[in-house]
Amino acid sequence: MPATTAPVVFLDRDGVINRDSDQYIKCWAEFEFLPGSLEALARLTAAGLHLVVVTNQSAVGRGLIGLEGLEEIHRRMTRAVEAAGGRLLDILFCPHRPDAGCDCRKPATGMIVEACRRHGLDPARAVMVGDRAKDIRCGRDAGCRGTVLVGTEGRSSVWAELARWGIVPDRVAPDLDAACDWIIDCLTAPDQP
Of positions 131, 140, 169, 183, contacts Mg ion by CB under 5 A: 131
Q: Is 96 in the site for Zn ion (CB under 5 A)?
A: yes
Closest residue by Cα to residue 56 from 118, 116, 109, 5:
109
Please report whether residue 133 would count as binding Zn ion according to CB under 5 A.
Answer: no
Among 72, 103, 78, CA closest to 11: 78
CA-based angle 34:136:67, to the nearest 5?
Answer: 60
How many other C-beta atoms are found inside a 10 Å radius of the C-beta of residue 117? Answer: 9
Q: Is 92 in the site for Zn ion (CB under 5 A)?
A: no
The stretch near Mg ion (CB under 5 A) out of 12-20, 76-84, 99-107, 174-182 is 12-20
12 binds Mg ion (CB under 5 A): yes
Q: Please provide residue 123's backbone torsions phi and psi, each rounded to the nearest 5 degrees.
A: -55, -30
* 177 lies in the site for Mg ion, by CB under 5 A: no
Which residue number has the CB closest to Mg ion? 15
- Which active-site residues does the annotation give? 12, 14
Chain contacts with Mg ion (rule: CB under 5 A): 12, 14-15, 131
